[in-house]
Structure 1
Amino acid sequence: MSNRAVLEVIALDAEDAVAAQSGGADRLELITDMAADGLTPSRETFGRIRAAVDIRLRVMLRLADGFAAGDIDALVEAARGMRAEGADEFVLGFLDPDGSPDLVAVERVVAEIEGCPWTFHRAIDRAADRDAARKQLAELPGLDTYLTAGSADGVDAGLPTLLAEAAASERSEPGYGARLLVGGGLRLEHVPELRAAGITGFHIGGAARPGGWSKPVEAAAVREWRGLLDA
């Protein structure tokens, strides 16, 4: 795994995508409806973004707010539609009511995306037992990333957990092979400590939009992150 930091930016549309790419993003997370913490975008939106940029795109597979899978057949259908549109990287993650991974839902969706790389998103920050969850998920094909703040309350609260998990990854402990992609209340001042710990994945949403979520991604804001990550 390269030590160069990966910068992933949330994009809602092609305008966001173009700005993020020009600012130096390596990859985009494609969503709609940030008020619900990000749901699956339309196939048309994916197509417009794919035509506008040539960086990697990870498409959210999530149909309702919260971390329950809901209608698994509908999730599978959404995944099938995105694959048909050309999507080849995904973001997903579902929990049972007891806070353990919903393996039935995750395994069905993963079977539909046929070995495509995917991120288990911030559901990990709401898992009853993070370590147990990682070990349960570790052998699923395509899982290469955990999007996490280390805590449901964001990076400020989760920093000790992130540093401990980075150390577990360095030691090649079982369940810690996937890249840590830090996001959720992530600020520029967190970066030096996270980089020093060997963390190579950074995910920004609001930080790429100085004008707020009603305004588009700004290339200059992304460029500031890129510059710090490459320093």
Structure 2
Amino acid sequence: MTAPLLEIAANSLASALAAQEGGADRIELCENLGEGGTTPSHGTLSMVRDKLRIPVYALIRPRGGDFLYDEVELETMRRDIEHCVRLGCDGVVIGALDADGDVDADACRVLMAAAGGLGATFHRAFDAARDRAQALQDIVALGCERVLTSGGANDASTGAASIADAVRSGAGRIRVMAGAGITVDNVREIAARSEAQEFHASARSLRRSAMRHRQQGLSGLEPDRMQTDAAVVRALVERLRGL
């Protein structure tokens, strides 16, 4: 059996470097994790690609909210993917649904074509699909190498049985990566119950600002921030490797 793989959702260059330092196998580079993640900026992508040795997958998502995209949003995503190709990213993370909650195969084929030879992960739009069993077959048909899922639940622990169903259904055709709410305390239990071999976590802790002046009462402008913590990544790796 291959060793479990850990992917870290990194929302900045600092988080990406911490993920690498902690022993992560791959990062998903994104912004706005509070909204489920959006496409990172050119500067962030470029700096991360220059400084990381581990594989870098870029999240391609123009906004938070649903996964139903209009023509302008689809063209934005296509151009973002072409940008990732030029920068030398290892892969992209995509996903789109139609208004009925099915995989939007036409939209996804446009994105896959833009990606060319890059790897492709189908993100948690899968969890929002009307029929996940059918969605998995559609994602396999698109040629995605993996799908990220919480098993249709709020977190991977709750959805572990459904993740295991997807692992068995996709065996030999697509990799199933468990994600959402994965921590040092629950990763081994999730791994055992889900039967997954790939895991997705943010491994963040509170990063205290160096600001001496702290303006009070500015909601949304608090100086402290959440950032990937190399020590947490290292602990996750140790727990997974100890299986």
> Same-fold call, TM > 0.5?
yes
For 2:95 and 2:184, locate their aligned partners in 1 and report how far apart those are by CA, in whole Å.
Answer: 26
Q: Which amino acid aligns with 1:162?
A: I
Gaps of 5+ in 1: none
Over 3 Å counting, the alpha-carbon distance change for 1:61 and 1:218 in structure 2 is: same
Aligned partner of 1:19 in structure 2 is 18
Q: Report if aligned partners of 2:187, 2:236 keep a CA contact under 8 Å in 1.
A: no
Q: Report if aligned partners of 2:183, 2:236 keep a CA contact under 8 Å in 1.
A: no
Q: Which amino acid aligns with 2:57?
A: R
Instruction: Give 1:152 shift.
Output: 3.9
Which of 1 and 2 has greater Rg? Answer: 2
Q: Report if aligned partners of 2:95, 2:125 keep a CA contact under 8 Å in 1.
A: yes
User: Given the alignment, which residue of 190, 193, 198 partners 2:195?
Assistant: 198
Q: Report if aligned partners of 1:24, 1:223 keep a CA contact under 8 Å in 2.
A: yes
Alignment of 1:85-124 (within 5 A): 85-124=87-126
Q: Report if aligned partners of 1:95, 1:127 keep a CA contact under 8 Å in 2.
A: yes
Aligned partner of 1:218 in structure 2 is 229
Instruction: Give 1:189 shift.
Output: 4.1
Instruction: Give 1:39 shift.
Output: 0.7
SS in structure 2 opposite 1:155? coil
CA offset digits 1:61-120 (Å, max 9, x no partner) = 110112122321111111112211222301011111111011121110100111321110
For 1:34 and 1:111, locate their aligned partners in 2 and report how far apart those are by CA, in whole Å.
Answer: 27
Q: Report if aligned partners of 1:62, 1:69 keep a CA contact under 8 Å in 2.
A: no
Q: Which amino acid aligns with 1:72?
A: L
Aligned partner of 1:79 in structure 2 is 81
Q: When the two structures are superposed, what TM-score results if normalisation uses the length of structure 2? A: 0.85
Over 3 Å counting, the alpha-carbon distance change for 1:92 and 1:136 in structure 2 is: same
Gaps of 5+ in 2: 208-223
Q: Report if aligned partners of 1:27, 1:57 keep a CA contact under 8 Å in 2.
A: yes
Aligned partner of 1:41 in structure 2 is 40
Instruction: Give 1:19 shift.
Output: 1.0
For 1:164 and 1:139, locate their aligned partners in 2 and report how far apart those are by CA, in whole Å.
Answer: 18
For 1:166 and 1:122, locate their aligned partners in 2 and report how far apart those are by CA, in whole Å.
Answer: 15
With 157-166 and 42-51 compared, the bigger mean Cα shift is at 157-166
SS in structure 1 opposite 2:61? coil
User: Given the alignment, which residue of 137, 140, 150 partners 1:138?
Assistant: 140
For 2:8 and 2:152, locate their aligned partners in 1 and report how far apart those are by CA, in whole Å.
Answer: 20
For 1:156 and 1:6, locate their aligned partners in 2 and report how far apart those are by CA, in whole Å.
Answer: 17
Q: Which amino acid aligns with 2:205?
A: P
Aligned partner of 1:160 in structure 2 is 161
User: Given the alignment, which residue of 109, 127, 130 partners 1:128?
Assistant: 130
For 2:74 and 2:96, locate their aligned partners in 1 and report how far apart those are by CA, in whole Å.
Answer: 10
Aligned partner of 1:58 in structure 2 is 57
For 1:37 and 1:83, locate their aligned partners in 2 and report how far apart those are by CA, in whole Å.
Answer: 23
Q: Report if aligned partners of 1:43, 1:85 keep a CA contact under 8 Å in 2.
A: no
SS in structure 1 opposite 2:117? coil
Alignment of 1:162-201 (within 5 A): 162-170=163-171, 172=172, 177-196=173-192, 198-201=195-198
Q: Which amino acid aligns with 1:151?
A: G
Give me the identity figure in percent. Answer: 30
Q: Which amino acid aligns with 2:15?
A: D
With 183-192 and 55-64 compared, the bigger mean Cα shift is at 183-192
For 2:154 and 2:11, locate their aligned partners in 1 and report how far apart those are by CA, in whole Å.
Answer: 24
